[in-house]
A = this chain, B = another copy of it.
């Protein structure tokens, strides 16, 4: 559970939403937290450290991906039309955009979360046991799937969920081919090394809006241009079964999907068990557990 209260804003190296103008502050945490064993080789670790992400094309076997795609469709059918708070619709329709907490809804997803190719890489990079801070499917359906605006996950997780340090990462599993046409994940390489303080006060119950369309906790256009000038832009394209790991502070976004093919990806956020949530640094009440897990139960624990 959340011990104590957050540090005061004055001492917080990752303060945000309390400034009049954006700032790029230095990252105060390692990217790769140690040199332990794991499935990634030194070249892959170096790539992740330098660029803030690592794409492993075709990491999962075809039959594994097919079974996961069936399971994702089952979850979609089961939850379509649901009023549950962890089922999010697109901003301008009833089409399902995301289903959260899938590792608790589906044994197949729970098994995947524990898979050493994913959890092992997370343990290796974060150099500790890990737990699932958040899990979801982003369906991004053909033609209906709308954009996800630029954001650093960590900024929101710190301010709205109370995550103290940059010791978390996302593993995204591509369940469909991701192409230049169906709204692939865009990343700013190297952006994980700077922390962008955002402008604007957080509205109450911000997540009810931000999960559809985020407008607070996003970088100013000058901040984004600055990061892209430094690191360029890339997008994650690959066949179904590819997995991309990206640091909690890597700036990312994805465009809408205007193609007739869905872009369905799983997202699992691994946080270090040594980095449990405290009170949110933004001062508002924490978001619900389906967005920010308050119980750090290690992945694979009985």
Contact A253 B260 (CB under 8 A): no
Question: Quick one: CB contact mask for A215-237 with B, threshold 8 Å, 1 for yes?
Answer: 00000010011001000010100
* C-alpha gap A221/B141 in the complex (Å): 12
Contact B255 A256 (CB under 8 A): yes
* Interface window among A33-41, A97-105, A142-150: A142-150
* Interface window among A58-66, A178-186, A278-286: A178-186
* Cβ-based interface call for A259 (8 A): yes
Question: Quick one: CB contact mask for A146-190 with B, threshold 8 Å, 1 for yes?
Answer: 010110000000000000000000000000000111010010000
Question: Quick one: CB contact mask for A169-213 with B, threshold 8 Å, 1 for yes?
Answer: 000000000011101001000000000000000000000000000
Contacts of A235 in B (CB 8 A): 180-181
Which of A142, A224, A233 counts the most chain B CB atoms within 10 A? A233
Given A181-B233, A221-B142, does the pair A186, B147 have CB atoms closer than 8 Å? Answer: no
Number of copies: 2
* Cβ-based interface call for A80 (8 A): no
* Cβ-based interface call for A258 (8 A): yes
Contacts of A143 in B (CB 8 A): 221, 224
Q: How far is the CB of A221 from chain B (nearest CB, A)?
A: 6
Quick one: closest B residue to A234, CB to CB? B181
Contact B256 A221 (CB under 8 A): no
Contact B147 A256 (CB under 8 A): yes
* C-alpha gap A149/B144 in the complex (Å): 11
Contacts of A253 in B (CB 8 A): 258
Contacts of A180 in B (CB 8 A): 180, 235
Quick one: closest B residue to A257, CB to CB? B255
* C-alpha gap A195/B258 in the complex (Å): 20
Contact B258 A258 (CB under 8 A): no
Contact A255 B183 (CB under 8 A): yes
* C-alpha gap A219/B37 in the complex (Å): 53
Contact A256 B256 (CB under 8 A): yes
Q: How far is the CB of A255 from chain B (nearest CB, A)?
A: 5
Contact A225 B260 (CB under 8 A): yes
- By a beta-carbon cutoff of 8 Å, the part of chain A in contact with chain B is 142-143, 147, 149-150, 179-181, 183, 186, 221, 224-225, 228, 233, 235, 253-256, 258-260
